Amino acid sequence: MSRKLYAIYKKLYRCFGRQHWWPADSPFEVMVGAILTQNTSWGNVEKAIGALKKEKLLSAGKLYRLAHRKIASLIRPAGYYNIKTKRLKSFLSFFLKNYQGSAKKMSLADIQKLRRQLLSVNGIGPETADSILLYALNKPVFVVDAYTKRVLCRHRLIKENEEYAQVQSLFMQHLKTDTRLFNEYHALLVKLGKEFCHKNKPLCQGCPLN
């Protein structure tokens, strides 16, 4: 399995090249994006983040003090804007209280402690937590998302509806613990999923893994 998973990675990398994830100007922008992209296309998230940047509000302190309705109106393009405003505030409260809104301070903490803390924040589940750990804080954690599961399922490497933790440990037990590798591998799976592994088309036509 180790050789197989690494062979898939090499093939994807040869085919698509570096993905330059996560597309953001700062760790804090990654954290916000990780919450906004929940069950939402990235294009819509970019619009929301663009609106926050335009108003110069992409800062933990400013955002935390901003009225709910103001945040909701700015992030509206990302959908679920009321619940995401609440989730952003929950995260910001945690981030400011525990790490003074500093990604650098946060990155000094123990990885398992960080993951437990993030998962205890309302609105942050395993994928959002791991996205923050890997793409904002450069921690070697493998991120599993809908594309990851679909691609693996289509290639019969996992069963349908496999649990998050199971899929994650498949990667983490069979690959070298390497932030760069985990970063690139997940991004490549998303790239592959977007291009060749659509939900309502069981045949992945043109998939380079076939």
Partner DNA sequence: GACCAGGCACATC
Partner DNA sequence: GATGTGCATGGT
Residues 6+ away with beta carbon under 8 Å from 150: 193, 197, 199
Compute the distance between CA of residue 163 and CA of residue 90 in angstroms, rounded to an integer. Answer: 26
CB 130 within 8 A of CB 141: yes
Q: Is 73 in the site for DNA (CB under 7 A)?
A: no
205 binds DNA (CB under 7 A): no
Does the footprint of DNA cover residue 38 (CB under 7 A)? Answer: yes
Q: Quick one: which of 76, 89, 115, 155 contacts DNA (CB under 7 A)?
A: 76
**Cα–Cα distance, 140 to 128 (Å, whole number):** 15
Q: Is 3 helix (H, G, I), strand (E, B) or coil?
A: helix
Residue 79 CB, shortest distance to DNA, in Å, is: 2
For position 145 contacting DNA by CB under 7 A, the verdict is yes
* CA atoms of 125 and 101, how far apart (whole Å): 20
Q: How many residues bind DNA, per CB under 7 A?
A: 44
34 part of the interface to DNA, by CB under 7 A? yes
| Contacts with DNA, residue ranges (CB under 7 A) | 21-23, 33-34, 37-44, 47, 76-77, 79-84, 121-129, 131, 135, 145-147, 161, 164, 190, 193-194, 198-200
